[in-house]
């Protein structure tokens, strides 16, 4: 077996496996950039997965499923927004409650949908001439539509964050909300927007599992991916490109383990599962060293904003 | 100041909400049978490791529970889903005993010690632990000889493969799983001596996407039939998408991958639950270590898919007959290991003890057991 034959399917599988994590991580990234920690990603993903699946089965249209997943994910995040922005409740507690709530709710909603197939899942659409590019094509451009959308989304989020005025505001929102308030921007309103948008992306992450990756509904089918997404945002130092790399790294590690097994190379699964964390630590050391430790979390992350507090 | 007090109140409120939610996290559901007030209810409880909606292991147990309620209207059942193995389960089992349940079925290997611990404190309650090996005066164990069903599914796989490579997505390298792989491979090789069974370990019982990935890897490596010892339909979905065949586990999985599923190796706990509850009711229950054979109906294979040929069905029926009549069992020598060394000599049958501690692969398995 030559190296291409090994690498291409491995990297293609990493992209697929990384996509649900990527969506959820991008959602969490913009949420945290706005200064709000949402630990409810796992719950949001599950609610997204079940709502998307239910809508897709009922209507026969996966795009409506996707829409339902976004709305449901956004709705669950709205609870978090209300609790943490309006009521200024503890963000960690609210997020954890949300995960438990989302797990229970999705299980309850999905009871009747267990074990039934979806007629039209998202299936692979090779992307014309792009899919023909040697090496790159089969890795990046022979997937389903949601994978392509995620590429675009990374670019959009990055461009928005670093090259537009509202993006600058978003970053400032998480650094110094009082300054934004002084500039006449509505901190509460903007934070609501970003938390809900983040939840909608988490919902897509869940729907990717139930409508594209393993098209079916099973309770708890996210199996901890929401938590990986939360961790990933920190490892990525709140940067969408690094989040993308990280998502594929986390996604790829199982794919690598499986392929090594097929080749008869025995490697401890515990060692393999440790690898992405090891990589991220190494990457972090380099990134932080290069930036002389300036890259830290958004300054106001996790703090409730109160206009009257000085 | 005002703000701080308010937020303190809110946090307290949230924490209490959280506690309530956590408390309800282990959803306890009590079913009330329709029958008009029989003299005395027998309260029976089940502890599940996964959600009933896993379409796999816990689902199969719950089907058994429903069968029990159906057959014995005097039984009132309580289930607790998604109970983590370990200390949490001990608390849950204690609660169930405290609530007056007379029989408690704990349906995962990791509940073994907690079950024994709780049983000491409640001598009047009968405990049945699934898949373990520890008993006490009021604790019995029960399991089924799934390897017999796996052998039969192996025959189907061996007859259906064209590439002579069969993929097997396996959860954890424990004797139960290794025994299943070996039995399956014996079945494959009985009809197709040149075929091999490629094994991938996923190190998870429950992650549909990951299991599917493992199956895809096997398909890329040339497998054209996928078998699984996993609790979700992920692997057979991969087979379906690739236009290849699959063999389900736990329950009849044909619904989830109608074009792929040749058959499934299935659990059928219902009749055993009825028997056990009846035994306790009639005071004839003993703290046995029950390892039920296929002839008891506790394990079986699901109806064949339309692609399975008459020829194959005949081979399966013959083998099933030998197993059902107990004339022969799967691990009857000669059996060689992967290196070709004879581990079970001609004419010898492997002892239960040896089968329960399987830690080597038979000839024909392409894979290794992680140390």
Q: What is the mean pLDDT of each run of 10 residues along chain A (310 residues)?
A: 84 95 97 96 97 96 97 97 95 95 93 85 90 91 96 97 95 93 94 97 97 91 92 89 93 89 82 77 77 74 82
**Spatial distance between the Cα atoms of B110 and B129, rounded to a whole number of angstroms:** 10
Rounded to 10 deg, the angle between the A145-163 and A240-262 helix axes is: 150
Decide: helix, strand or coil at residue B201: strand
Residue A281 lies in a domain: no
Chain B partners of A147 at a C-beta cutoff of 8 Å? none
CATH of domain B26-144: 3.40.50.2300
| Residue at token pair 């992450």 | A205
Give the architecture (CATH level 2) of B146-267+299-366: 3-Layer(aba) Sandwich (3.40)
| A107 vs B53, B206, B257: nearest CB | B53
Pairing state between β B299-301 and B261-267: antiparallel
Are residues A27 and A74 in contact, defined by beta-carbon separation less than 8 angstroms? no
B51·A306 Cβ contact <8 A: no
Contact partners, residue B197, CB within 8 Å, separation at least 6: B166, B167, B168, B181, B184, B185, B188, B227, B364, B365, B366, B367
Residue A231 lies in a domain: yes
| B255 vs A101, A115, A221: nearest CB | A115
Chain B partners of A111 at a C-beta cutoff of 8 Å? 53
Measure CA B8 to chain center: 47
**Spatial distance between the Cα atoms of B230 and B253, rounded to a whole number of angstroms:** 12
Are residues B78 and B29 in contact, defined by beta-carbon separation less than 8 angstroms? yes
User: Cα–Cα–Cα angle for A228, A231, A232, nearest 5°?
Assistant: 80
B209·A209 Cβ contact <8 A: yes
Q: Which of residues 95-114 of A touch B (CB under 8 A)?
A: 96-97, 100-101, 103-104, 107, 110-111, 114
* pLDDT by 10s per residue, chain B, length 371: 344 555 555 555 555 544 444 444 454 555 544 444 556 789 999 999 988 887 789 999 999 999 999 999 999 999 998 898 888 899 999 999 999 999 999 999 899 999 999 999 999 999 999 998 899 999 999 999 999 999 999 999 999 999 999 999 999 898 999 999 999 999 999 999 999 999 999 988 889 999 999 999 999 999 999 999 998 899 999 999 999 999 999 999 998 899 999 999 999 999 999 999 999 999 999 999 999 999 999 999 999 999 999 999 999 999 999 999 998 999 998 999 999 999 999 989 999 999 999 999 999 999 999 87
* Structural domain of A156: 18-238
Cross-strand bridge partners of residue B30 = B78
Chain A partners of B218 at a C-beta cutoff of 8 Å? 262
Question: What's the domain count of chain A?
Answer: 1
Same fold, B26-144 and B146-267+299-366: yes
| Residue at token pair 């429950």 | B206
Q: Chain B contact for A219, CB < 8 A?
A: yes
Residue A85 lies in a domain: yes
Measure CA B188 to chain center: 21
Nearest to A123 by CA among A149, A145, A150: A145
Q: Where are the alpha helices (DSSP H) in chain B?
A: 2-25, 57-71, 87-98, 112-121, 146-160, 175-191, 208-220, 234-242, 270-281, 310-324, 352-356
A100·B203 Cβ contact <8 A: no
- Delimit the domains of chain B by residue range: 26-144, 146-267+299-366
Q: Which of residues 24-83 of A touch B (CB under 8 A)?
A: 83
Chain A partners of B15 at a C-beta cutoff of 8 Å? 93
- Please tell me which residue of chain B has the smallest CA distance to A222: B207
């Amino acid at each position: 077996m030559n190296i291409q034959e090994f690498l291409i399917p491995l990297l293609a599988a990493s992209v697929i496996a990384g996509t649900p994590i990527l969506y959820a991580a991008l959602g969490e990234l913009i949420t945290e950039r706005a200064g709000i920690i949402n630990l409810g990603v796992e719950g949001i993903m599950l609610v997204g997965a079940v709502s998307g699946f239910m809508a897709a089965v009922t209507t026969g249209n996966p795009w409506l499923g996707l829409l339902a997943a976004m709305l449901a994910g956004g709705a669950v995040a709205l609870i978090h927004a209300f609790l943490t922005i309006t009521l200024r409740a503890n963000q960690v507690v609210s997020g954890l409650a949300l995960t438990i709530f989302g797990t229970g709710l999705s299980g309850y909603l999905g009871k009747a949908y267990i074990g039934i197939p979806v007629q039209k899942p998202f299936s692979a659409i090779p992307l014309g001439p792009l899919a023909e590019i040697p090496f790159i094509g089969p890795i990046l451009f022979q997937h389903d539509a949601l994978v392509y959308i995620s590429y675009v989304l990374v670019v959009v989020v990055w461009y928005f964050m670093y090259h537009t005025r509202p993006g600058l505001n978003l970053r400032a929102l998480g650094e110094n909300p009082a300054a934004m308030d002084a500039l006449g921007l509505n901190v509460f309103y903007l934070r609501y927007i970003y938390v809900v948008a983040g939840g909608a992306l988490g919902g897509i992450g869940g729907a990717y599992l139930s409508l594209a990756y393993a098209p079916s509904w099973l309770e708890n089918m996210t199996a901890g991916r929401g938590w990986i997404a939360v961790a990933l945002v920190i490892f990525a130092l709140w940067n969408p490109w690094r989040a993308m790399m990280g998502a594929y790294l986390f996604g790829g590690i199982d794919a690598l383990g499986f392929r090594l097994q097929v080749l008869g190379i025995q490697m401890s699964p515990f060692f393999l599962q440790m690898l992405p964390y090891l990589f991220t630590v190494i990457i972090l050391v380099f990134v932080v060293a290069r930036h002389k430790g300036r890259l830290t979390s958004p300054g106001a992350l996790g703090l409730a904003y109160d206009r009257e507090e000085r | 100041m005002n703000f701080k007090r308010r937020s303190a109140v809110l946090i307290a409120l949230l924490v209490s909400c959280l506690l309530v939610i956590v408390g309800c996290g282990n959803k306890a559901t009590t079913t009330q049978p329709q029958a008009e007030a029989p003299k005395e209810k027998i309260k029976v409880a089940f502890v599940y490791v996964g959600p009933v909606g896993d379409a796999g292991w816990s689902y199969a147990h719950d089907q058994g529970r429903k069968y029990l309620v159906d057959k014995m209207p005097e039984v009132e059942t309580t289930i607790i889903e998604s109970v983590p193995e370990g200390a949490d389960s001990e608390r849950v089992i204690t609660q169930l005993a405290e609530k007056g349940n007379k029989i408690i079925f704990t349906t995962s290997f990791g509940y073994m010690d907690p079950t024994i611990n709780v049983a000491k404190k409640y001598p009047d309650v009968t405990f049945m632990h699934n898949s373990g090996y520890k008993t006490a005066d009021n604790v019995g164990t029960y399991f089924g000889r799934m390897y017999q069903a796996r052998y039969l599914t192996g025959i189907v796989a061996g007859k259906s493969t064209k590439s002579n490579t069969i993929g097997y997505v396996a959860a954890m390298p424990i004797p139960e799983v290794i025994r299943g792989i070996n039995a399956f491979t014996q079945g494959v090789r009985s009809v197709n001596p040149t075929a091999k069974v490629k094994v991938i370990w996923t190190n998870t019982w429950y992650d549909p996407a990951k299991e599917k990935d493992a199956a895809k890897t096997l398909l890329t490596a040339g497998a054209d039939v996928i078998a699984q010892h996993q609790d979700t339909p992920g692997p057979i979905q991969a087979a379906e998408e690739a236009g290849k065949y699959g063999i389900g586990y736990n329950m009849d999985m044909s619904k989830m991958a109608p074009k792929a599923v040749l058959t499934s190796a299935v659990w059928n706990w219902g009749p055993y639950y009825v028997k056990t509850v009846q035994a306790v009711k009639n005071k004839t229950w003993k703290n046995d270590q029950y390892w039920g054979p296929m002839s008891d109906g506790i394990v079986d294979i699901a109806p064949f898919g339309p692609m399975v040929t008459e020829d194959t069905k005949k081979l399966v029926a013959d083998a099933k007959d030998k197993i059902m009549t107990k004339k022969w069992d799967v691990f009857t020598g000669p059996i060689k290991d992967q290196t070709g060394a004879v581990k079970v000599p001609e004419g010898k049958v492997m002892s239960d003890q040896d089968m329960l501690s399987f830690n080597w692969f038979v000839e024909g398995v392409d894979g290794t057991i992680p140390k």
